[in-house]
Amino acid sequence: MKIAVLNSGSSSLKFKIFDMDTKELISSKNVEHIGELNSAFQTHHEAIKSLGIDFSLLDGIAHRVVHGGDTFSKATLIDEKVINAIKTIIPLAPLHNPANLEGILVCQKKAPNTPQIAVFDTAFHSSIPKEAFLYALPLEMYEKHKIRRYGFHGSSHAYVSKKAAEILEKDLNKLNLITLHLGNGASACAIEKGKSIDTSMGFTPLEGLVMGSRCGDIDPAIVIYMQRELGMSADEVDALLNKKSGLLGICGNNDVRSLLDSADEKAKLALEMMIRRIKKYVGGYMALLGRVDAIVFTGGIGEHSTYVRERVLESALFKDIKSLVIETDEELEIAMECIEALENK
């Protein structure tokens, strides 16, 4: 079976085609700068057309959709109802879901007879129990306004947890893991018997670890202070927390590879802050899980930086726990989830 995975962002498209009998990547194409001034592609439709894909050869097209809200707990065959449901979730992911939808609509036009499947970044975390996904706000904030922890990077946490089970030669549904996706965006996940029971990203991907340019956990009163006392608008605070904070905010650089080589005090401070936060999450998740079979590192930093891994694990608390480094493959996971959805349809 040939499955295409489309990751359609606001100004970029990533398209990969897998032969799912062998799980081999057959082709991979990217388009960037869609809709930008002087770009050859002003629309997603033009960009997809330029890829020259023969859609008739595909058995399914899997679309990465960032936010599934609390509507979608697994990969889902797309029909009119699903499209409308994804539209209603737009306020929860105003930057991502519209671009994901755009990709779906263009592919539906190009390949009307090919099944299209939505695979949600949040779905893996749908097993998180209520006491973990609720914020301690008036309950109606959840019941009326759907404000809760959703969690992201689901395909990555799911993929590395399956790989960890293969490496450890154990059933995933008997394994307790802490998975650490450490890339520019970063999140930790506590996995009990193969299922996510807590994760560091929350209502949006802003919460949790110190990331490349996102602050992660802060006192929410800071946001109020910035608006009330510093006269910043909501959009300015949004940009500051998402794009100007994290490692970038502390030392002006979010490339961990170059921070590791730097003698600059601010670069060292930024790394210390990042590592300290990861340790706090790992320790907290150990307390939740009780027994931990392995701590799994993935993402650009997790896969490549021995220093960061060793520093995270230096606590005596973690010394008897196996650690694994597993290269993530979110697109292959999305293709595998697409196959499952096709088989169940």
Binding residues for ligand ADP, per CB under 6 A? 183-185, 212, 255-257, 260, 299-301, 304-305
**Helices 330-343 & 154-168 angle (0-180, nearest 10):** 90
Cite the DSSP H helix spans in 123-264.
130-133, 140-143, 154-168, 221-228, 234-243, 246-251, 256-261
322-325, strands of its sheet edge to edge: 195-199, 186-192, 177-182, 294-298, 322-325
Shorter beta-carbon distance to ligand ADP: residue 103 or 185: 185
| Shortest separation between residue 313's beta carbon and ligand ADP, angstroms | 16
Q: How far apart are the first and last CA of the chain?
A: 16
Burial classification of residue 291, based on how many CB atoms lie within 10 Å of its CB (0-12 exposed, 13-18 middle, 19 or more buried): exposed
Q: With respect to ligand ADP, which residue has the nearer C-beta, 184 or 262?
A: 184
Least separation, in Å, of the C-beta of 206 and ligand ADP? 14
Nearer to ligand ADP, 71 or 184 (CB): 184
Nearer to ligand ADP, 176 or 245 (CB): 245
Cβ count within 10 A of residue 341: 20
Contacts of residue 205, defined as CB under 8 A and 6 or more positions apart, other chains included, come to 152, 153, 185, 187, 214
Output the residue with the shortest Cβ distance to ligand ADP.
Answer: 300
Q: Are the C-beta atoms of residues 61 and 115 closer than 8 Å to each other?
A: yes
Residue 185 C-beta: closest distance to ligand ADP, Å: 5
Name the residue nearer to ligand ADP (CB basis): 98 or 300: 300
Q: Which residues belong to the active site?
A: 121
Which helix or strand (DSSP H or E) is residue 209 part of? Answer: none
Q: Under DSSP, is residue 343 helix (H, G, I), strand (E, B) or coil?
A: helix
Min dist CB 205 to ligand ADP, Å, is 10
Nearer to ligand ADP, 184 or 242 (CB): 184
Least Å distance, CB 250 to ligand ADP, is 13
- Fill in the DSSP letter of residue 111: -
Task: Report the largest interatomic distance among the alpha carbons of the chain, rounded to a whole angstrom.
Answer: 59
Query: What would the two tokens of residue 45 be?
Result: 């439709």
Q: How far is the CB of 56 from ligand ADP (least distance, A)?
A: 32
Q: How far apart are CA 146 and CA 308, in angstroms?
A: 36
